């Protein structure tokens, strides 16, 4: 009996007369490097019904955003369609579903170790299909790399030979036939593949991981790099006229490289980060003023540490050793590169020397630094020597005048 469904171009029903030996060679190939978990509930609808397949976590950094789906139906006047949006795959049927649905998931091949496990459960007869393909849209001897099917049936297949289960080749795929299975019970399908050479082990397990049947094969014809799609499928019995429910939990895990030779380890170290060194310079202009006359003072902070310089930020505070006032007691630095500066004005109120000090408080990178400068303040009067220098006179050169005076120097006439 031949079926057209899923990605098969042709499919022979699994009865022993059409089944080839499980030990025959076949071409294999697989590649995937992703970790994902998918829960899919598939409802095969009656006429005009809509079915939804929920793919809660059917995504991953290595999965394409676009899925391709294939649905097949004997009656072309009642087509079945499938759409994917926001992680929800919706199947619309205008007539009875006579076969089933495949979901092809593109992925990026990587690594050389792979395990694919599918937990499956059917309420009535069901066929679950797991395949890795070299191309999408076809499922034949030239494109299939690895296929694994699982039938749930109430009829004991003769090929089981009362041993519990069997895995055998049908056409271009290998199938596992469960024996004495319980409808509504979870089972597990598992593919374990390694590369160089390409080797696949199929396991049919109970839900606690116990092996019911296993099969192993090696093929030099394929490698992980030849695989382009992972196919997840479920197909209905063609003679089935009622809706069925199939549930699948898919878990796919891969290793990007062979098992490591050395075990993992970790360590830690304490790093001490010191602030960058700075220097501060202060200048006032003019440097000599009269009492009551203002002078402009500028503080410049420089990053003098090695490496990439950091522009100093923050504020500079000011103080004077004598009487006088500042226009502001602090100023905010501004600059680029390794240097920043700010200015204030200072007005002394009495004569004498002043020590003007600028104190940089530091920031998160630079430490604090301080620098003074000396300012000379006069009392506003001319000194005697300065006045004599202005009016001239040899005899007056040694006279000092401490206050403002008018000095008249007259030349006497000689006596007759």
The per-residue pLDDT for 9 is 21
Q: Which of 89, 87, 93 is nearest to 36 (CA)?
A: 87
Query: Given pLDDT bands bounded at 50, 70 and 90, which one contains residue 282?
Result: very high
Does 257 score more than 90 pLDDT? no
The per-residue pLDDT for 390 is 42
Higher pLDDT, 403 or 377: 377
What mean pLDDT value characterizes the chain? 61
Report the chain's C-alpha Rg in angstroms. Answer: 47
Q: Which residues pair with 319 in a beta bridge?
A: 357
Encode pLDDT of 69-96 as tens digits. 444 444 455 454 554 444 444 444 444 5
- DSSP per-residue letters across 136-162: SS-BSTTTEEEEEEEEE-SS--GGGTT
DSSP, collapsed to helix, strand or coil, labels residue 412 as: coil
Q: What is the DSSP letter of 259?
A: P
Does 20 score more than 70 pLDDT? no
Q: How many CB atoms lie within 10 A of CB 409?
A: 10
CATH T-level topology, domain 278-378: Immunoglobulin-like (2.60.40)
Higher pLDDT, 134 or 243: 134
Q: Where are the domains of the chain?
A: 2-255, 278-378
Does 205 score more than 60 pLDDT? yes
Rounded mean pLDDT of 96-112?
A: 57
Q: What's the predicted TM-score (pTM) here?
A: 0.40
The whole-angstrom distance between residue 201's C-alpha and the CA centroid of its chain comes to 34
Does 355 score more than 80 pLDDT? yes
The per-residue pLDDT for 334 is 92
% of residues, the chain, pLDDT over 90: 12
**CATH class of the domain defined by 2-255:** mainly beta
Tokens of 287: 């440097």
Query: Given pLDDT bands bounded at 50, 70 and 90, which one contains residue 354?
Result: confident
The CA distance from 167 to 116, in Å, is 17
Length of the chain: 416
Contact status, residue 151 vs residue 122, Cβ threshold 8 Å? no
The per-residue pLDDT for 187 is 75
Higher pLDDT, 416 or 310: 310
The per-residue pLDDT for 295 is 93
């Amino acid at each position: 009996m031949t079926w057209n469904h899923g990605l098969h171009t042709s499919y022979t029903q699994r009865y022993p007369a059409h089944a080839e030996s499980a030990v025959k060679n076949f071409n294999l190939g697989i590649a995937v490097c992703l970790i994902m978990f998918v829960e899919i509930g598939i409802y095969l609808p009656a006429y005009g019904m809509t079915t939804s397949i929920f793919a809660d976590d059917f995504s991953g950094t290595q999965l394409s955003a676009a899925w391709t789906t294939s649905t097949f139906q004997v009656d072309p006047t009642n087509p079945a369609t499938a759409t994917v949006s926001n992680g929800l795959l919706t199947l619309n049927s205008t007539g009875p579903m006579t076969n089933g649905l495949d979901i092809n998931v593109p992925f990026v091949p990587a690594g050389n170790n792979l395990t694919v496990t599918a937990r499956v459960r059917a309420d009535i007869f069901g066929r679950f299909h797991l395949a890795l393909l070299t191309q999408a849209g076809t499922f034949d001897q030239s494109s299939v790399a690895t296929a694994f099917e699982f039938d749930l049936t109430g009829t004991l297949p003769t090929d089981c030979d009362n041993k519990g289960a069997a895995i055998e080749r049908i056409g271009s795929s290998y199938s596992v036939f469960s024996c004495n299975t319980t409808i509504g019970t979870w089972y597990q399908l598992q593919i374990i593949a390694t590369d160089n050479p390409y080797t696949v082990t199929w396991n049919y397990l109970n839900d606690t991981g116990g092996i019911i049947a296993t099969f192993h094969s090696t093929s030099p014809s394929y490698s992980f790099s030849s695989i382009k799609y992972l196919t997840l499928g479920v197909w209905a019995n063609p003679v089935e006229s009622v809706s069925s429910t199939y549930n699948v939990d898919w878990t796919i895990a891969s290793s990007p490289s062979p098992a490591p030779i050395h075990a993992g380890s970790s360590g830690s170290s304490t790093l001490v980060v010191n602030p960058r060194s700075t220097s501060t310079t202060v200048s006032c202009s003019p440097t000599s003023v009269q009492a009551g006359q203002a002078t402009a003072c500028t503080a410049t902070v420089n990053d003098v540490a090695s490496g990439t310089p950091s522009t100093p930020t923050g504020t500079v505070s000011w103080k004077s050793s004598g009487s006088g006032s500042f226009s502001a007691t602090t100023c905010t630095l501004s600059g680029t590169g390794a240097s920043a500066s700010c200015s204030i004005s200072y007005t002394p109120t009495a004569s004498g020397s002043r020590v003007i000090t600028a104190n940089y408080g530091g920031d998160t990178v630079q430490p604090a630094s301080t620098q003074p400068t000396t300012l000379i303040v006069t009392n506003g009067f001319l000194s005697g020597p300065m006045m004599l220098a202005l009016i001239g006179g040899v005899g007056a050169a040694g006279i000092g005048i401490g206050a403002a005076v008018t000095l008249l120097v007259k030349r006497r006439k000689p006596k007759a």
